[in-house]
Structure 1
Amino acid sequence: MTALDIVKTYYERFNSKDWAGMLALLHPEVRHEANQGDVRIGIEKFTSFLQHMDDCYDETLTDMVFFTEPNNKRVAVEFVVNGIYKKTDAEDLPPAKNQKYVLPAAAFLELSDGKISRVTTYYNLPLWIELVSK
């Protein structure tokens, strides 16, 4: 499989909430660089993050556009997050009341040994706060 094939499968599994299948595509020492917060290294930390996100949010990604480079190691993707804020994430964020939101975002992924070894995600946190504070 190409890097693009692997990343597309990763996001298909995200949208179908196939967490085990999604995690199976990650390198054991995956580097996760979330939009806010510390860098997480390792599949165990990524798994904990994923569980927390699943507890707090119900999200589906649409309008996905993938970008690749000729070395078959990196893929970028632009998408729209369609979500529901189910459970308050942190005390410095607005309280959750099942607010719906639609938010543009992007991610950069890198592959090593046929597995996703880096996931970096970006979105506009102030815009998200505005959307769920209405």
Structure 2
Amino acid sequence: MDDTPALVARYYAAFNAGDADGMIACLAPDVAHHVNEGQIRRGAIAFRAFCDHMARCYSERLEDIVIMATPDGTRAAAEFTVHGSYLVTEKGLPEARGQSYTLPAGGFFTVRDGQIARIVTYYNLADWVAQVSR
């Protein structure tokens, strides 16, 4: 289905614009957000809190985004490169000093009724820690 890649592209365009409202507009109200190395966040309110936290601690831009979808449009995946800066120290992670990092990453999606119902984000945390610890 052609709508699914466009939906995922809108989601990532909103991410790159720092537009949490635009990202949330792509989501089902009961979205399940599976973050790398973290707990599942459920619903738009939890997703907004995550976005607010990420905007405070990191400045990120996604490039080289490639989106793939199943023929029926119910599943999608995206591969991309994260270019970021670590701005505020997170508990249990190295101290933030504005370090830059570049990581390959991916996202996996379930789409229901034209909205993203599940997001799974993956990147290599050990690679990120090594880059910001230099």
SS of 1:122's equivalent in the other structure is strand
Structure 1 residue 97, shift from structure 2 partner:
0.4
Q: How does 1:30-49 map to 2 (within 5 A)?
A: 30-49=31-50
Give the distance between the partners of 1:116 and 1:62, measured in 2 at CA: 21
SS of 2:53's equivalent in the other structure is helix
Structure 1 residue 68, shift from structure 2 partner:
1.0
Residue by residue over 1:59-81, the C-alpha shift from the partner in whole angstroms, topping out at 9 and shown as x without a partner, is 00001111111111111000000
Matched, 1:95 2:104: no
Query: Could you tell me which residue of structure 2 aligns to residue 24 of structure 1?
Result: 25
SS of 2:79's equivalent in the other structure is strand
Residue by residue over 1:56-104, the C-alpha shift from the partner in whole angstroms, topping out at 9 and shown as x without a partner, is 00000001111111111111000000000000122x1001000000011
Matched, 1:108 2:89: no
Q: Which runs of 4+ in 1 moved over 3 A?
A: none
Give the distance between the partners of 1:19 and 1:47, measured in 2 at CA: 7
Query: Could you tell me which residue of structure 1 aligns to residue 80 of structure 2?
Result: 79
SS of 1:121's equivalent in the other structure is strand
Query: Could you tell me which residue of structure 2 aligns to residue 66 of structure 1?
Result: 67
Task: Extract unaligned runs of 5+ from structure 2.
Answer: none
Task: Extract unaligned runs of 5+ from structure 1.
Answer: none
What code does the residue aligned with 2:82 have?
Answer: V
Structure 1 residue 133, shift from structure 2 partner:
0.4
Residue by residue over 1:1-25, the C-alpha shift from the partner in whole angstroms, topping out at 9 and shown as x without a partner, is 7111111011011101111111111
Give the distance between the partners of 1:54 and 1:89, measured in 2 at CA: 12
Give the distance between the partners of 1:110 and 1:55, measured in 2 at CA: 28
Give the distance between the partners of 1:82 and 1:70, measured in 2 at CA: 31
Give the distance between the partners of 2:93 and 2:23, measured in 1 at CA: 27
Give the alignment's TM-score, normalised by structure 1. Answer: 0.96
Give the distance between the partners of 1:65 and 1:24, measured in 2 at CA: 21
Structure 1 residue 110, shift from structure 2 partner:
1.1
